[in-house]
Amino acid sequence: MTGDAVKTQIDSTLERILDAGEVLFAEYGYEGTTLRQIAQRVGIKEPSIYAHFAGKEAIYGAVIDRALQPFHAEMESWIKTEMTLRDLLVIPRKLLALHSRHPYAARIMHREFCNPVDRISPKVMVWLNQIALQSQVFMSELQEPGQQPLDQARVVTHIVTLTNITLGFFSTQGMQANLLKDQYDEERMFEEYVNILTRIFRGLLF
C-alpha cells in the first residue's frame, strides 16, 4: 500500500470515528457514550481508536470543531464583505444549511445549551466566545453612525436566540415527524424554519 493510500485510509477511519461519535453523543450525551460504542459503530476494535484520538474527550472536541469551524469562517466573510439587505436576509438560510451538514452535531449543541454553567463543554465555550466577538463586530458594522455602542448583553441575547431556534429544527425532528405523521416533509419543514428564522432575524436587525 502506498503512502497516499495509507493516509487516505487513516483519514477515512478518522472521519468515521467522528461520524459515529457525533451520532452517539447526540443520542446519549457525552457521559452516556463510551469508546466501545463508538468503536462498534465504526466497526473497529476499541484500542484502534487511540491511533487517531487520545480518548473520548478528544473525539468530542473534534466533533465540535468540525461542526463550528465553518460558522467561524462564514462570519469572517460577512465581516469582510459590504452586505446588502438581500445578503443579510439570506443569513438564516445559510445558518440552517451549515448545521444541515452535521445535524447530529446541532443536537449536541442543543444539549450543551441546556447544561448548567459548570457542565458546559469548555470546547463549546471557546467557540461561542469567538463567535460572540465576531458577532459584536458584525452587528456594530450594521449600525448607523451616531448610534449607541452595542452592549455585550444585547449581542449575547441575539446570538443565543437565533442559535437556539436554529438548533431546534434539528433537535425536534423526531417530534415534528411524530406530530405530522404521514404529512411530515423534511424539506417543507426546513423552509418553514427558514421563514420563521428570517422574520426573527429581520426584527433583530431593524
At residue 98's C-alpha, the angle toward residues 96 and 102, to 5°, is 105
* pLDDT score at 141: 81
> Coil, strand or helix: which one is 32?
coil
56: phi then psi, degrees, rounded to nearest 5: -65, -40
Assess contact for 66 and 137: CB atoms under 8 A. no
As given in the structure block, the three cell numbers for residue 162 are 437565533
pTM listed for this prediction: 0.88
Question: What pLDDT was estimated at residue 203?
Answer: 86
- Greatest alpha-carbon span in the chain: 65
Per-residue model confidence (pLDDT) at position 204: 79
DSSP for 94-132 reads HHHHHHHTSHHHHHHHHHHHHS-GGGS-HHHHHHHHHHH
120: left (phi over 0), alpha (psi -120 to 50) or beta: beta
Q: Can you read off the three cell numbers belonging to residue 155? A: 449581542
Predicted local distance difference test score (pLDDT) of residue 4: 44
Q: From first to last of its 206 residues, what are the pLDDT tens digits of the chain? A: 554 444 455 578 999 999 999 999 999 999 999 999 999 999 999 999 999 999 999 999 999 999 999 999 999 999 888 888 889 999 999 999 999 999 999 999 999 999 999 999 999 999 999 998 898 888 888 777 777 777 888 888 888 888 999 999 999 999 999 999 999 999 999 999 999 999 998 887 76
pLDDT at 179: 97
Residues 6+ apart with CB under 8 A from 24: 33, 37, 38, 41
**What is the four-CA torsion angle of 73, 76, 77, 82, rounded to 10 degrees?**
170
pLDDT at 5: 44
